[in-house]
Amino acid sequence: MSANGWLQIGLILAVSLLAAVPLGALMARLKRQQEMQQHAIAARNERILESVRVIAHAVRDGQCDYSEGAIRLTNLLDALQIKGGRAFATEFPGLYGLYEKVKEMPTHEARRALKRNEVMKMDLERSGYEAELEAQILEDVARLKDFQLSR
């Protein structure tokens, strides 16, 4: 091979090395960012799970009614960031079943705007749903009071 050919090979190697250094630094930075993001997700999930456990205890101990517990717990479980997702509705059918029945019922200002007989009718309907699903709800919250995401 001629001197010119060797010079070209040397030049290509030098340029490749010069490009590899910043590329390696970028790859290392990307890996650190991904690790930080995973750590932040895990910390957020743990805060959510702590709230789930507290509410599950409150529902089990009668400090929170079933409908309020179902609304809070289903929303918290659905907020968990889990790779590949998870079918919480099938794992906790009592809570999700009650949530589906009461989610459209008015709350706060909308509830206060209703006539008294309308509120009583809605409360009676909600109580019926709670009684119908009580056994399953109690099973669900019993499992949630110590709930952990499997790793």
Residue 129 binned pLDDT confidence (cut-offs 50, 70, 90):
very high
Q: What pLDDT does residue 122 have?
A: 94
Q: Residue 73: its pLDDT value, please? A: 98
Sign of CA dihedral 112, 114, 116, 119: negative
pLDDT digits (tens, 9 = 90+) for 13-67: 888 877 788 888 889 999 999 999 999 999 999 999 999 999 999 999 999 999 9
Q: What pLDDT does 23 receive?
A: 83
Task: Give the sign of the dihedral formed by CA 23, CA 29, CA 32, CA 37.
Answer: negative
74, exposed or middle or buried, with CB in 10 Å at 0-12, 13-18, 19+? buried
What confidence category does residue 7 fall into, taking pLDDT thresholds of 50, 70 and 90?
confident
User: Over the chain, what is the mean pLDDT?
Assistant: 92
* Per-residue pLDDT at 54: 96
Task: Convert the pLDDT of each residue in 107-125 to its tens digit.
Answer: 889 999 999 999 999 999 9
User: What global pTM score does this model have?
Assistant: 0.80
What mean pLDDT do residues 70-74 have? Answer: 98
DSSP conformational letter for 105: S
Q: How many CB atoms lie within 10 A of CB 99?
A: 21
